[in-house]
Structure 1
Amino acid sequence: MAACSVFSSLRSQLSKVRRLAGCVECVECVHTGRWMLSADKALLVKLRKTTGYTFINCKKALEKFNNDVTLAEHWLHDQAQKEGWSKASKLENRRTSEGLIALLRKENAAVMVEVNCETDFVARNEMFQQLVQDVAFATMEHHQSRVHAGYVKSLMSAENVCKLAVPEGSSVADQLALAIGRLGENISLRRAVSVGVPADWRMGSYVHGAVLGRSEVSMGRYGALVVFQGGPEGQEEVLGKKLGQHIVGEAPLSLGEVGDVPCGETETRLLPQTFLLEPQYTVGQYLALQNARVFDFIRFKCGEETQ
């Protein structure tokens, strides 16, 4: 009888709270005895849309912080990151052959990075694509923070890139863990390169299989950077793109020398290769016609084996 009396009293109190609160429902926290607001439906929809977390987790976060969206979002990020680090250790041996190449250019500098995941489905996910862009910006900021003179090409290890800070202030490693926690796949940073050139040199670039992203970052399955000098005045960007397209399509392994004789279909030197866009010329011959010279190039293919 005593138990029934207690439950009756609780129901009466709950009814009073609901009448006072109008349309806002309340629930009692069993562990603390405090009254907590249940998740507001409009806020729940907003939090779900802005964060991408599950409906259940968003509801739990709003109830935990009495519908304070800011606190709920911070808590969700913290939980996802903790879960991500745990998942990362469990998934680290799973193969990551999909993903994206990102290429970012600013004035006389450029960076190219590769971030990998397990499936093409995740590679198309907006959160993964934002992560790839953040890595590119972090790499560019690191490059621009250092004093450079002349031509500089810096290959960065995955370990060093993971230590860099992303625009939000956390590290690349933390953002990787966060993405793993939310997307449920192994995600890894494979490589990054930054390039700086003198004022009278030029850089060309091309990304194949491009996906939509921030306008200044190009992302796709293949990427190429080419460092050159000369070319028709006002047409340097066009020439650089053509050279980048050739490098992506023909996959040269070395530059070669001016005047090298082509050795057939298996030619892997850039200059003696048949120029992809104008096959009546070799790359070397085409450059001579344009009064241009290539000094270096870099080609990334997503998921390829690297030394």
Structure 2
Amino acid sequence: MLFRRLFHHTSFVSFLSSNVMTANQSLLSSLRKKTGYAITNCKKALEINDNDIEKAENWLNSQAQAQGWAKAAKLNSRSTPNGLVGIRLDTKCAIMVEVNCETDFVSKNEKFQTLVAQITEACFKKSLEMVSSMDNPQESSLLKIGFDSEQLGTLQLNDSKNSKLSDLVALNIGLIGENMTLRRAVALYSTNSNIKFSSCTHPQQVLNESFLGKYAAVFAYEECTPSVKMEELNEVIAAEKLQKQLCQHIIGMNPRTIDKAKKLPDEENVEKSTNEEKAEKLVGDEESALYHQEFLAYPEFTVREVLAHVGWDIKGFLRFECGENLN
């Protein structure tokens, strides 16, 4: 009888231990899947926080962030020539963001790509907030909003007053172990409902609602009555591909302006250069002006001829190349 009771008690204790172990294992698995941290760190977090998964997650993030800041300070001198450009847009606004890292290997890391998408979303929301807070934004205009590295770092993440983008980057430096930097962001915002946006990245990857790539282009345009109709273009233009083709052109040809720079009023009667220098400047203006470039998809025509044929008026564009020289 005593043996039977002892056996029953032992079995009961064993059953309870098994259930607790299964529950702990389930929590451990959930925490690791949710945070991506090492299993030993997740186990320690649960032990310290009495298996409260929410507290364990907060503890892990605070530890990783603290370690990330320390690691960021240590790795700060390392150059970050690689990374990704993120784009997000809707009918009113388009944002382009560049986030850098040390190696191309990390730029392909899922955690880094998620980071870029989160930063792009935060910048997109901030741009919308900034325009909505303006007293009288001009109608029928295209507004341009820029963020430098420091300004990006101070932006709040997902409307949280306690978490900035610089904190998020530090957290990921701790996780991935490589230096990362917030480089720049630019937004185009339209107060004119007739203006449309189009974008593409290369190579293109879509994460949540963000487009990621090493190269990126965005342009804003308004549809109007075609000013020129060319039979040759009727035969070659694929209208459904034109938006992407123009983005690819901007990426490939790297225009600096939409049209040639206009002469300043005080230059009308002042001789400032030789005829040869003027000719070189004119060629340079044409090569860097979007409308005067040969369209990559239709090289026998200029961009102006193609857009005049379809009735598109370009209002503005952006082009980022990850790691490019900004001087």
Structure 2 residue aligned with 1:210: 204
Alignment of 1:1-16 (within 5 A): none
Q: Which amino acid aligns with 2:259?
A: G
**C-alpha deviation, 1:41, in angstroms:** 2.5
Helix, strand or coil for the counterpart of 1:138? helix
Task: Out of 126-135 and 80-89, give the one that drifted further.
Answer: 126-135
1:188 aligns with one of 178, 181, 186: 181
2-side partners of 1:272 and 1:55: how far apart?
Answer: 58
1-side partners of 2:52 and 2:257: how far apart?
Answer: 58
Listed as ranges, the gaps of 5+ residues in structure 1 are 1-14, 26-36
Q: Which amino acid aligns with 1:22?
A: S
1-side partners of 2:296 and 2:171: how far apart?
Answer: 42
1-side partners of 2:179 and 2:157: how far apart?
Answer: 20
**C-alpha deviation, 1:163, in angstroms:** 1.0
Structure 1 residue aligned with 2:50: 66
CA separation of 1:278 and 1:192: change in aligned 2, threshold 3 A: same
Structure 1 residue aligned with 2:272: none
The one-character-per-residue Cα deviations of 1:188-210 (angstroms, maximum 9, x if unpaired) are: 11100011122222222121101
2:194 aligns with one of 186, 200, 213: 200
Alignment of 1:4-153 (within 5 A): 21-23=16-18, 40-146=24-130, 147=134, 148-149=137-138, 150-153=141-144
CA separation of 1:287 and 1:20: change in aligned 2, threshold 3 A: closer
2-side partners of 1:176 and 1:236: how far apart?
Answer: 41
**C-alpha deviation, 1:168, in angstroms:** 6.4
Question: Sequence identity of aligned pairs in percent?
Answer: 38
Structure 1 residue aligned with 2:317: 297
CA separation of 1:42 and 1:168: change in aligned 2, threshold 3 A: farther
2:246 aligns with one of 239, 243, 248: 243
Listed as ranges, the gaps of 5+ residues in structure 2 are 1-9, 227-237, 262-281
2-side partners of 1:91 and 1:237: how far apart?
Answer: 46
1-side partners of 2:298 and 2:35: how far apart?
Answer: 48
**C-alpha deviation, 1:231, in angstroms:** 5.6
Q: Do 1:99 and 1:118's aligned partners in 2 also have CA atoms closer than 8 Å?
A: yes
Corresponding pairs, count: 278
The one-character-per-residue Cα deviations of 1:186-237 (angstroms, maximum 9, x if unpaired) are: 11111000111222222221211012311x211111111112222689x998
Q: Do 2:95 and 2:188's aligned partners in 1 also have CA atoms closer than 8 Å?
A: yes
Higher relative contact order (CA 8 A, sep 6+): 2
Structure 1 residue aligned with 2:293: 273
CA separation of 1:257 and 1:202: change in aligned 2, threshold 3 A: farther
The one-character-per-residue Cα deviations of 1:74-119 (angstroms, maximum 9, x if unpaired) are: 1101100011111111111111111111111122111100111112
Q: Which amino acid aligns with 1:154?
A: I
Helix, strand or coil for the counterpart of 1:245? helix
1-side partners of 2:76 and 2:48: how far apart?
Answer: 32
**C-alpha deviation, 1:276, in angstroms:** 0.8
CA separation of 1:74 and 1:114: change in aligned 2, threshold 3 A: same
Q: TM-score, normalised by structure 2?
A: 0.76
Structure 2 residue aligned with 1:3: none
Structure 2 residue aligned with 1:28: none
**C-alpha deviation, 1:38, in angstroms:** 11
Q: TM-score, normalised by structure 1?
A: 0.81
Helix, strand or coil for the counterpart of 1:67? coil
